Amino acid sequence: MAREIDEAWISEAIERHRRVEQLRGDYERAVESHQVSVHSPDDSIEVTVTASGQITDIQIHGGLQHRQPVEFSRELQAVVANAAEAAHWARGKLHDEIFGKLRSLGEA
């Protein structure tokens, strides 16, 4: 018994695959270019990070002469952790924006 081939379903699946690949490329480009800035708890350090997690800039506000190394290290660690969380959040938002409207093959 031969199995019937649904040509329309196959064509739709191929087109859907192409669309997903295009959206994936859009997502990857957006993740690399989208930037988020976060501050340390005391606002003395600002870190800019891409949605991919790459730190692109660090700004120190105020002088360092009065800072104790342990205090500065604690603030730096906190802001880097916040930057990692912000990058994760940004990736999720971009994913939802780009892929959120994608319908399944079974939907009309």
In a domain, 50, yes or no: yes
Contact 57, 20 (CB under 8 A): no
What pLDDT shows up at residue 7?
86
pLDDT tens, residue by residue, 43-62: 999 999 999 999 999 999 98
Round to whole Å and give the CA distance between 107 and 54: 38
In a domain, 37, yes or no: yes
H-assigned helices in 1-108: 7-33, 69-99
In a domain, 107, yes or no: no
In a domain, 108, yes or no: no
Per the structure, the complete domain to which residue 68 belongs is given by 7-99
Q: What CATH number has the domain bearing residue 91? A: 3.30.1310.10
What pLDDT shows up at residue 3?
64
In a domain, 88, yes or no: yes
- Average pLDDT score over residue span 13-33: 93
Total domain count for the chain?
1
Q: What is the CA angle 51-52-58, rounded to 5?
A: 75
- Which residue in the block uniquely carries the two structure tokens 């949605």? 51
In a domain, 79, yes or no: yes
Round to whole Å and give the CA distance between 39 and 70: 18
pLDDT tens, residue by residue, 62-91: 888 888 999 999 999 999 999 999 999 999
In a domain, 67, yes or no: yes
What pLDDT shows up at residue 8?
85
